[in-house]
């Protein structure tokens, strides 16, 4: 179990949580990391394998979210009306951070025998 966080805003809280024994992991909200997570979230939504039970805060965050695409077809979540303080996408960002971390944890690892050979 881990607590994922964007280091640009949550450093103090994460230091306190780490001090209390939690495993905290930095997850940078970069194009490179968010694109696969966005695509995975999209796949899960289309496959109907993401369930939020109609939670009003989750629905609000999703309704407040859009995606920005660069020329390489990378995507990141954004607020479509950046200057509207009432719009929040924090729940979507948290979901994407969790999906990005799961992808890292589930990535195939090389066999120890490939790295060091047989003993």
Please tell me the pTM assigned to this model: 0.74
Task: Report the alpha-carbon distance of residue 95 to residue 69 in Å, rounded.
Answer: 19
Q: Give the count of beta carbons closer than 10 Å to the beta carbon of residue 85.
A: 8
- Write out pLDDT tens, residues 54-97: 889 988 998 888 889 999 999 988 888 777 778 888 888 888 98
Task: Report the alpha-carbon distance of residue 80 to residue 82 in Å, rounded.
Answer: 6
User: Of the candidates 47, 51, 35, 55, which has an alpha carbon nearest to the alpha carbon of residue 99?
Assistant: 35
Record the tokens describing residue 25, joined without a space.
């992991």
């Amino acid at each position: 179990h881990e607590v994922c966080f964007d280091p640009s805003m949550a450093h103090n809280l994460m230091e306190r949580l780490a001090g209390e024994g939690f495993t905290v992991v930095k997850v940078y909200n970069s194009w490179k990391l968010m694109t696969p997570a966005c695509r995975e979230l999209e796949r899960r939504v289309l496959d109907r394998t993401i369930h939020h039970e109609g939670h009003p805060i989750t629905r609000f965050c999703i309704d407040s979210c859009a995606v920005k695409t660069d020329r390489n077809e990378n995507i990141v979540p954004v607020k479509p009306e950046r200057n509207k303080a009432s719009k929040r996408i924090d729940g979507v960002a948290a979901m994407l951070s969790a999906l990005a971390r799961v992808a890292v944890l589930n990535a195939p690892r090389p066999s120890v025998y490939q790295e060091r050979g047989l003993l």
